[in-house]
Amino acid sequence: MAQRTNSVRVARSVALSILSAFLLLVFISSFSSGKWPASQAGSFPSQAAAVRNSSSQDQLFLDDLQHRSFNYFWQQADPQTGLIPDRARMDGSALDDNHRNVASIAATGFGLTALCIATEHGWITQSQARERTRNTLRFFAERAFEKNGWFYHWLDAKTGDRRWNSEVSSIDTALLLGGVLTVGQYFRDDAEIRKLATKIYERVDFQWMLNGNPRLLSHGWKPETGFLKPFWDTFSEDTILYLLAIGSPTHPIPPASWYALWRDRYRYEGHTYFTTIGVPLFMHQYPHAWIDFRNRRESRGDRIDYFTNSREATLAHRAFCLNLSYDFPAFASEMWGITASDSAKGYLAWGGPPRDPEIDGTLVPSAAGGSLMFTPELSLAALRAMQQRYGEKVYGKYGFIDAFNPKTGWFDSDVIGINAGIILLSAENSRNENVWKWFMQNREIPEAMRKIGLVRFTSTTTLQPAERSDRARRHVNLTKKRKPQVSSVRTATRPDNSVNSLKRSASSLLRYCPDRFLLHVFPMPRLIEVRTKAKALGVPHQPFVNARLDLHLAIRVQGIDRLATHIKIQRPASEMRTVDGQSGAAGVG
């Protein structure tokens, strides 16, 4: 018996030795070929390959994601007013009193479009969709408060009353109109729906929203104080607002307004695109949810091809996220995306490039999901990786939660309507171009494009997403940290060191701090220190990067003295400027 036991032990020892040698050879082979295990790289190369090679699995996932996202708009909407809540709990539990029944007119625009998508997919019947559409349009045409056709940003979902002391919002009314005009075309055989949609659009007085400016539209209006001081003067999601305004059949504004918007030409990791420096990725996505910019470019000005521009912005953002993997290992080739969202610290309008000091490792599914129409393979891989790795923690009855942080273990409890909406609409356009087809049937939109000079062209050098994927990966060496390639480029008529450049950059990022403010150059640790104190004291402020990539902190003049009593801030004249956010006058402070 003892001899048999010894023989077994010897056999086990030999087997373990052979197994160890085999595993060692596999590891050496992987190392020599430059292939690390997935846990080392923080990615899922085998899973990603399976996703790309299995179109049936992709379609099943997108079917499920779209259906779940639609359920948010169907189940959460008030059936009588059609208003869509700003947010909801993923588990169906009640919101706190401050958020309960607060509806967003922008989310309602996504929700109207969602009804068309759901009807097309057979998730609801034609009669169900028409009834909900009629109720929603009747509410906005006949019951909701409107000021010259413009609506309050936030409403009580049941009564339609103003909530949160909100403004009559120009951009949110524009996003609502995206849905209104979409259902008007999808149900164009329904006389009432067509009539109501036309009434809501034609009633909007875009000329009134200019507030005396010859070209630029105001952010909005309040009954207590009148027009908000900021104007939409920079490139952002406001392209849908200006296209609707220029194409208005009743109150059009001049086509020159389109070219009055300030645009920064930005370069990151080989991707060059026009943007406003520091804006979240959603600003490149929302207009494209409805407007088909493909194969069109401006015939004058910067001659921007807006669809390619937004694709480049997405690819640059993905490369930016890959560079964050040194600090946040969860960011990888199949796990990326930051845009305005919830966070453990509250709601933040963050993004990049350049890097926002607030970035803490939080991932936002709608960043990748909202770009499905631009980068279908890369965006789909990101969404599937999130769902496969984190499962029910991030993916539930309404699709993806708004945001989560793999590094800290924080997972949001909420879904936000506009973020669920952009995923749904972008996926639909990526798969079959439906929303583009429906919205572009409104004759006012092609007419606005004609007035602007957005002319068609034939592209013969389209670069496929997979090629971009390989190119983006080559910029990131996971075994050696290096500084990202980044620059901001101006056209010849807009020099980097101009006061106007500084003034415009500050103005675009301080839209809601329109009074006079101070700009100061800080090194990163000092900027974070000052910003933390400003946030604690409630002093309005905003970091941004100027054309020379200097880090600035903009602080309201009214709050600078209060801030200075708690933290020492030097004010050398060469680094400090005082800027008037309304008139744009600048001088040395």
Among 431, 463, 399, which Cα is nearest to 58's? 431
CA distance 529 to 526: 5
Q: In the beta sheet, which residues pair with residue 517? A: 556, 579
The dihedral built from the CA positions of residue 521, 523, 527 and 530, taken in this order, carries a sign that is negative
DSSP element (H, E) containing 66: helix 55-76
The predicted pLDDT at position 458 comes to: 77
- Give, in order, the Cα–Cα distances in Å from 522 to each of 500, 530, 536, 571: 20, 9, 19, 11
CATH number at residue 302: 1.50.10.140
The predicted pLDDT at position 264 comes to: 86
The mean of the pLDDT values for the chain is 80
Cβ-defined contacts of 468-473 (< 8 Å, 24+): 468/315, 468/375, 468/378, 469/333, 469/377, 469/378, 471/270, 472/269, 472/315, 472/318, 472/319, 472/322, 472/333, 473/322, 473/333
Please state the φ and ψ torsions of residue 487, each to the nearest 5 degrees. -155, 160
DSSP element (H, E) containing 194: helix 191-203
Domain match, 413 and 289 both: yes
The predicted pLDDT at position 228 comes to: 96
Domain match, 231 and 300 both: yes
Q: What is the pLDDT of residues 493-536, one digit of tens each?
A: 333 333 344 444 444 444 433 344 455 555 556 666 677 777 77
- Give, in order, the Cα–Cα distances in Å from 113 to each of 123, 179, 542, 546: 14, 5, 34, 38
The predicted pLDDT at position 333 comes to: 77
Residue type, 3: Q
Domain match, 455 and 532 both: no
Token reading at 301: 């000005």
CA distance 369 to 378: 10
**Mean pLDDT over residues 146-169, rounded?**
97
Q: Would residue 453 count as lying in a domain?
A: yes
Q: What is the pLDDT of residues 329-353, one digit of tens each?
A: 999 878 999 999 999 999 999 999 9
CA distance 399 to 412: 13
Token reading at 464: 């496929």
Q: Would residue 100 count as lying in a domain?
A: yes
Domain match, 412 and 327 both: yes
Q: Would residue 176 count as lying in a domain?
A: yes
Q: In the beta sheet, which residues pair with residue 518? A: 555, 578
Domain match, 222 and 105 both: yes
Residue at a domain's end among 474, 507, 534: 474
Among 529, 574, 522, 577, which Cα is nearest to 550's? 522
Ramachandran assignment for 150, one of left (phi > 0), alpha (psi -120 to 50 degrees), beta (any other) = beta
The predicted pLDDT at position 526 comes to: 61
pLDDT(273) > 90: yes
- Give, in order, the Cα–Cα distances in Å from 379 to each of 199, 355, 386, 409, 568: 38, 21, 11, 23, 45
Asked if 219 contacts 167 with a C-beta cutoff of 8 angstroms, the reply is: yes
Q: Would residue 418 count as lying in a domain?
A: yes
Domain match, 386 and 419 both: yes
The dihedral built from the CA positions of residue 204, 205, 208 and 214, taken in this order, carries a sign that is positive
Domain limits for position 580: 499-588
Which of 122-131, 143-152, 296-305, 573-582 bottoms out in mean pLDDT, i.e. has the lowest? Answer: 573-582
% of the chain residues with pLDDT over 70: 70
The predicted pLDDT at position 18 comes to: 45
**Mean pLDDT over residues 15-29, rounded?**
41
**Mean pLDDT over residues 398-409, rounded?**
97
Q: Would residue 31 count as lying in a domain?
A: no
Domain match, 408 and 549 both: no
pLDDT(104) > 70: yes
Asked if 104 contacts 85 with a C-beta cutoff of 8 angstroms, the reply is: yes
Q: Would residue 27 count as lying in a domain?
A: no
Domain match, 469 and 518 both: no
Domain match, 532 and 577 both: yes
Cis peptide before 354 (omega within 30 of 0): yes
Q: What is the pLDDT of residues 241-265, one digit of tens each?
A: 999 999 999 999 999 999 999 888 9
Which of 41-45, 393-397, 430-434 bottoms out in mean pLDDT, i.e. has the lowest? Answer: 41-45
Q: Would residue 36 count as lying in a domain?
A: no
The predicted pLDDT at position 552 comes to: 58
Domain match, 340 and 207 both: yes
CATH number at residue 572: 3.30.70
- How many other β-carbons are positioned within 10 Å of the β-carbon of residue 346? 6
Number of domains in the chain: 2
Per-residue DSSP letters for 465-510? HHHHHHHHHHT--TTS--PPPEEEE--TTS-TT-HHHHHHHHHHH-
pLDDT(361) > 60: yes
Asked if 453 contacts 298 with a C-beta cutoff of 8 angstroms, the reply is: yes
- Give, in order, the Cα–Cα distances in Å from 462 to each of 3, 308, 378, 430, 451: 73, 9, 16, 16, 27
Asked if 114 contacts 107 with a C-beta cutoff of 8 angstroms, the reply is: no
Residue type, 547: A
What lies within 8 Å, CB to CB, of 514 at 6+ separation is: 228, 229, 230, 581, 582
Q: Would residue 150 count as lying in a domain?
A: yes
- Classify residue 142 by its DSSP letter: I
Per-residue DSSP letters for 335-349? B----SB--TTS-B-
Domain match, 436 and 512 both: no
Domain match, 354 and 469 both: yes
> Where do the DSSP E strands lie in 289-411?
296-298, 395-396, 399-400, 404-405, 410-411
Among 545, 555, 574, which Cα is nearest to 516's? 555
